[in-house]
Structure 1
Amino acid sequence: MAKTIFEQTGGTYTMQGDYCLPNLTLPIEEEHPIGVWAQRRLRYLKQHHKIFYYNLLTSGKLRSHLADVEEEAQSLFLRLVKEYAEREGVTEQLKAENPMEWVRRMNNIRNQVIGIVINELIYQ
């Protein structure tokens, strides 16, 4: 019997009952740190873009994609928090004079920016 294309490229099979199943393995990926933004992106891909998720997973590019999203989201988040704080007048002086007001306003800014980052990067 002639070898299949899979066998010609070095693949092997395992007998499971009456069936020959190919021995498939995923490509080895580099370890990248996965933070909160990447975890949100991973959850979104698994639930709403399954084909894209499985394409990234089987090609060995999922971890690098998540690392890129994490890096981009984190830099966008920090930049927007800084811009919003400057625009709304949340300064170190306010922090020294009225710490509770500073915390309230910074939490408001952070929540706004989280929504922006999620809509712009995570859910795309």
Structure 2
Amino acid sequence: MNEFDFDILTAGEPAQFGKYGSLRLRYLKENKPTLYQALLQGHLLNAHLNEIDQQAHEVVEQIAQQLIRSEQFDESVKLSNPILWVQKMNSFKDIAEETVMRDLIYC
């Protein structure tokens, strides 16, 4: 992340986006330079990155919760087999993040 000058990118506003916004920024710069320049010149880049970051967090949470429900995976597993619970939760999050990367970040 140190390779980006966030003051220039956000027209003097402090950069507030997180992990997914940063990933989107890198993708735009490397793969969609025209869109990146349009957002930058229109002073819309920071808002775009914040929106993507917020949406990504929401979608990851929604998908993870859907996977938990679909597999009928509940807190009782956490008490009876904590290692399995951590593995499953990490797996659910990984699946959700793959979807977010494909549908929000790299599109």
SS in 1 for 2:72: coil
Distance 1:35 1:27 in 2: 14
The residue type equivalent to 1:71 in the other structure is Q
User: What is residue 52 of structure 1 aligned with on the other side?
Assistant: 35
Q: Which runs of 5+ in 1 are unaligned?
A: 1-24
Whether the 8 Å contact between 1:46 and 1:53 is mirrored in structure 2 is yes
Pick the structure with greater CA Rg. 1
Q: Which runs of 5+ in 2 are unaligned?
A: 1-7
Q: How many residues align?
A: 100
1:26–1:87 distance in 2 versus 1, CA, 3 Å:
closer
Distance 1:57 1:40 in 2: 16
How big is each residue's C-alpha offset from its partner over 1:80-102, in whole Å with a ceiling of 9 and x where there is no partner? 11111111122111001100011
Moved over 3 A (4+): 25-32
User: What is residue 72 of structure 2 aligned with on the other side?
Assistant: 89
Greater share of residues in helix: 2
Percent identity (aligned):
29
Distance 2:10 2:75 in 1: 49
1:65–1:103 distance in 2 versus 1, CA, 3 Å:
same
Distance 1:51 1:114 in 2: 26
Distance 2:10 2:85 in 1: 49
TM-score norm. by structure 2 comes to 0.85
1:91–1:74 distance in 2 versus 1, CA, 3 Å:
same
After superposition, the CA RMSD in angstroms is 1.9
1:65 equivalent in alignment to 2:59: no
